Amino acid sequence: MKNVQDFLLMCSGADRSILKRSPSDINKQVSLGGCILFTAVFAFLAAAYAVHLIFDQLFLSIVIGLLWATMIFNLDRFIVSSLKHKGSFLSRLFLAAPRIVMAVLIAFVMATPIELRLFEKEINTELTMMEEEERFAQKKAIEQRFADDLSFNEGKINDINANLGFVELEKNKLLQDALQEADGTGGSQRRNMGPIYRLKMDAAERAAKEFDELRNDASLQLESLNEDIDELERKKAEALENLPVPDFGGIAGRIQALDRLSDTYPKVGIAHQFIFFLFLMIECSPLLVKLISSRSPYDLHLNQHELSAELHSKELRTIRQHDLEEKLKYHTQISTAKMNAQIKKERARIEADLQESIQQWKA
């Protein structure tokens, strides 16, 4: 139990030497260390699962999860230990604002992998639907790509058949007119096979010959068009057979599936927001505990210790500044005295030289 308490105190970032002077705050610091520890544990789980979704490697997931959890642990420990009970609540909240913004981002990063795990079955079902929709869209795109060429060829075939049908009708009509002229049911209404019959039969034979020639040409064209259609159908079937299999199994596809579930089912969206705010509270819990807790003897001793260190630093700085000023004053006076002595000595030398010059002049 003692080892656990020491470990949680280490997590809280509390100063042991100061904490010994305020033993009533040990439980508070232990609780604060527990908040920081569990925040790091959740960070490890979220990061490890996210990496596992991306790379599907257990060892790599554990390593990156530990690195992420260590970073979050050190960050929370530093911020909580550096946030002092000084000033008003608003001033402390202002100092903690950057950490709160960071907590929102970290909570989003932590909550997303956990949500993907919680709604895994629903997400897998939605992923199947997304893959089917993507496959249908790809199939439709391929069919649309070949549809224009197929429609063009089929249109030409219909035009050729329609033209053949029209020519055949004309041929049959001319033949019918000739037969009616022969049996007296049409034309001149006389049964004979005279000149009129022969003229109509010649026209019918010419039409039949033209129809045969047109039908032969059309057969060649239809054969070529049918070959083109078969080739297009073969290419279309080959393209449909080689369609890439849609894969939304990555983390991006799962996030998209979760968003679709939230849009389709409002309760899933509510649960999504609830989980996000839950992790936001977990991530902010060390900071909130530090902010809402009242000033304790530990905080007073810590502030006193920091104030003593600050005053001692100011005292040393003042003493050093005073010593520096005294040294500067001393060296200034020494320099001034040396300069005055030098000036006096030079003046005496000049006066002596002057007196000697005067004596020489008088002599």
Q: Is 0.75 topped by the overall pTM?
A: no
Tokens of 296: 């304790």
Domain layout of the chain by residue ranges: 2-118+265-295, 138-241, 297-363
pLDDT tens column, 55-93: 778 888 899 989 988 988 888 888 777 777 666 667 777
pLDDT tens column, 189-244: 555 555 665 666 666 667 667 666 777 776 777 777 777 777 777 877 777 777 77
Query: Are 18 and 302 contacting, i.e. CB atoms less than 8 angstroms apart?
Result: yes
Say what the pLDDT of residue 63 is.
92
Tokens of 62: 């554990």
Residue 40 to residue 11: CA distance in whole angstroms: 10
Long-range contacts of 142-151 (CB under 8 A, 24+ apart): 142/236, 142/239, 142/240, 142/243, 143/236, 143/240, 145/239, 146/232, 146/233, 146/235, 146/236, 146/239, 149/228, 149/232, 150/229, 150/232, 150/233
pLDDT tens column, 190-201: 555 556 656 666
Residue 7 to residue 186: CA distance in whole angstroms: 119
Residue 75 to residue 197: CA distance in whole angstroms: 111
Question: Is pLDDT of 161 > 80?
Answer: no
